[in-house]
Structure 1
């Protein structure tokens, strides 16, 4: 007991020393209104560690030997979560963050709009990035740029569209706003293309929210289901004409798994592999997100296995949670791309590095990760002391976390 009191006294002293800083600079630690740490977005069970499933009589067993650090199976129409494993665990999303990018930016420009690419728009792209092959001082239609995003996972296409949208920072801020509107509290956006950056994280739950929202847009659905396309090439110096070259979707399940709609894959050297897949069968559309399995190929194998299980388990399991609906703030649903108008909307969020990652909501989760929830003290010492302690601990953890920078 003496040791416990001594530790508690040290904790209180540390928090008391930090409180003046918190009061002087509230903007650096201000957090959105979120559920208390004991609850997870989408339901209590989604905040528990380990596998969550509620089988009824005749339900099939879940696939064996799943290696993903986090996964979730949900019904795209109803939002019911059929099964999950650490769905709020925060991990680097790699290029699956492009789902949020598309859901945010795609409605803004008519697909037939032509844009001449300036040199600055394809500069400062991360080393090792996947590229579709955009050249400066050439014209591209918006629909070609989106094919570059969805099929080739082209970071150059993302950068060009971001400049059209007002710049990288504005796009990042709008993506963060969009994530919060979707109640995707596990997500921290630093780069619009998903390139590995310090502190950039999402979760299987949030990525499923992004995919569900995106699939409501017919243009999003069309692009993510496109297997092959021709992309504009460079000018021929002899003829003065532009050629074209073929690009293929890097989604290895598209065209192979029956009924697959899309959505997006992502792989980086440091983040491993992540995949969000949607498939339709007998009038039912299921979403599966798998993050960071044991190998690159396993992300596809395990997604297919979970989709098979989900279709077989329909009506034979009770949901363990739900994909929450978007918060309506008078803006309504996103329009289709062809009906969008150029320009940007929304209130800019703080600059990407201004807010501490630790101020984001916990969203439940479990199973490790430097940004996971921190346990609350078992002895009640007051709400202010507890909140301050959590901020201090999480900041210390966040400062130690470093993601690599190699994007696929």
Structure 2
């Protein structure tokens, strides 16, 4: 008796072989290339360029067609994109220098969230007793009752050290405010700043940098109250019997003293002391882009040079945006948030885990079918060979 397999049966057996091979070797199929051929190269992640901000001198990465950076006389300066934090160019960005009243930006970042704007406070004598000689004042008087919002306008517009002293007292006191400002500075990644006097008054050891002040200015613009105060040009301040007008001392905002107003300017804060010279943190918006510029202690010209150098840097920044690669980031020194372990998804908790026996059973079944198919093909070939031999 002759036993034989039809071609259809042999094909079915081959199909079982293929199915078994696919089941037992999914990796080769998933790889997307034929066996024996080299695997295609994996895409390479973009490697960020190293920061240049700790180097001395002007730092910029110009692409073809980008305008040259203007020459400025400031001891330390920086231009950054307020949205991304990218630093477009800088000069001695981490040089530690006296900040003058630009340090009030850090004071506002620290104290603004703790005091309701509508809170009323009657000023006591001791709150005004230790104001430094020659300080800028808004006119806060002992025994007068002010709203916190009035005091903040005195800080931002008139750079009033008297208003800072009263707000610091409401915040827990002078030294408590110093400690909290220092802690806030570190939390923002501003490591060059050492706080001694919250109002920015010249004090031995008190320093900041163009980098840190840009960090403070950028962070302040994210606070609606800060942004509103720093962009206010004129306001009324309470006085004896009737209020009087006060004006922002930032000339780029008001256009005073022969300094033309800068289009799109939205603040932030200027300062001056004999040790610090003229300092400025300025921010402007144009075409959907906001830039932050810091200028510290220009060495050329007069007291208005700080505004003109800031103007040149803002103009350059808007012109160069998109045509330069960043030389660093305002977020570079900010501590990374801790990532807490996440709980397993609910679906994973409710779905039954596969049984080990069932996994092995499925694997054994596939393997058995593959072996059976291979045996069937071998048997068919033997029978066919036997027929050929006996014919």
Fold match by TM threshold 0.5: yes
For residues 180 and 266 of structure 1, what CA distance do their matches in structure 2 show? Answer: 22
Aligned counterpart in structure 1 of residue 145 of structure 2, from 139, 146, 152: 139
Counterpart CA distance in 2 for 1:192 and 1:79 is: 25
RMSD between aligned residues? 1.3
Correspondent of 2:103 among 97, 109, 122: 97
Cα deviations by residue, 1:315-350 (Å, 9 ceiling, x for unpaired): 1101111111744769xxxxxxxxxxxxxxxxxxxx
Match in the other structure for 2:196: 190
1:288 to 272, 284, 293: 293
5 Å-filtered alignment, 1:77-92, equals 77-92=83-98
- Residues 181 and 328, structure 1, Cα contact 8 Å, conserved in 2: no
CA distance in 2, matches of 1:329, 1:163: 31
Secondary structure at the counterpart of residue 269 of structure 2: strand
TM-fit CA distance, 1:138: 1.1
1: CA distance, partners of 2:236 / 2:184: 31
Cα separation, 2, equivalents of 1:323 and 1:317: 16
- What SS does the aligned partner of 1:253 have? helix
Shift of 1:275: 0.3
Cα distance between partner residues in 1 of 2:150 and 2:50: 40
8 Å contact kept, 1:99–1:211? yes
**Does structure 2 conserve the Cα–Cα contact (< 8 Å) formed by 1:104 and 1:174?**
yes
Normalised to the residue count of structure 1, the TM-score between the two structures is 0.67
The reply to whether residue 249 of structure 1 matches residue 256 of structure 2 is no
Quote the residue 1:171 is aligned against. 177
Task: Give per-residue Cα distances to partners, 1:358-379, cap 9 Å, x unaligned.
Answer: xxxxxxxxxxxxxxxxxxxxxx
* Match 2:56 to one of 22, 42, 49: 49
> What SS does structure 2 have at the residue aligned with 1:254?
helix
Structure 1 residue aligned with 2:163: 157
The answer as to whether partners of 2:137 and 2:159 remain within 8 angstroms in 1 is yes
Specify the alignment match of 1:396 in structure 2.
none
Match of 2:374 in 1: none
> What is the SS of the residue equivalent to 1:126?
coil
3-state SS, counterpart of residue 73 of structure 1? strand
Q: Assess, with a 3 A threshold, how the Cα gap between structure 1 residues 43 and 108 changes in structure 2: closer, same or farther.
A: farther
1:194 & 1:176 partners in 2: Cα distance? 13
Structure 1 residue aligned with 2:316 = 309
Once residues 44 and 291 of structure 1 are traced to their aligned partners in structure 2, the CA distance between those partners, rounded to angstroms, is 21
Secondary structure at the aligned position of 2:77 is classed as strand
Partner deviation per Cα, 1:359-400 (whole Å, 9 max, x = no partner): xxxxxxxxxxxxxxxxxxxxxxxxxxxxxxxxxxxxxxxxxx
- State the Cα distance separating 1:47 from its structure 2 match: 0.6
CA apart distance, 1:147: 0.1
Superposition pairs of residues 238-387 of structure 1, within 5 angstroms: 242-255=241-254, 256-294=261-299, 295-324=302-331, 326-327=334-335
Check if 1:128 corresponds to 2:127.
Answer: no
Q: Distance in 2 between matches of 1:78 and 1:296?
A: 32
Q: Secondary structure at the match of 2:52?
A: helix
Q: In 2, are the aligned partners of 1:43 and 1:322 still within 8 Å (CA)?
A: no
User: Is the CA contact 2:51–2:329 (under 8 Å) kept in the aligned structure 1?
Assistant: no
Secondary structure class of the residue paired with 1:148: helix
Q: 1:221 aligns with which of 196, 217, 227?
A: 227
* Residues 53-68 of structure 1 aligned to structure 2 (within 5 Å): 53-64=60-71, 66-68=72-74
Measure the CA separation in 2 of the matches of 1:137 and 1:216.
34
Which residue of the partner structure matches residue 30 of structure 1?
none
Deviation string 1:140-159 (CA, Å, 9 cap, x unpaired) is 00100000000000000000
- How far apart in 1 are the matches of 2:50 and 2:205? 25
TM-score between the two structures when normalised by the length of structure 2:
0.70
Offset of 1:62 from its aligned partner?
A: 1.2
- Structure 1 runs of 4+ aligned residues shifted over 2 Å read 325-330
1:231 aligned to 2:237? yes
1:108 is aligned, of 97, 108, 114, to 114
Unpaired stretches in structure 2, ≥5 consecutive residues: 1-48, 255-260, 339-391
Matches of 1:55 and 1:49, distance apart in 2: 17
Q: Give the CA deviation at 1:43.
A: 5.2
- The match for 1:370 is none
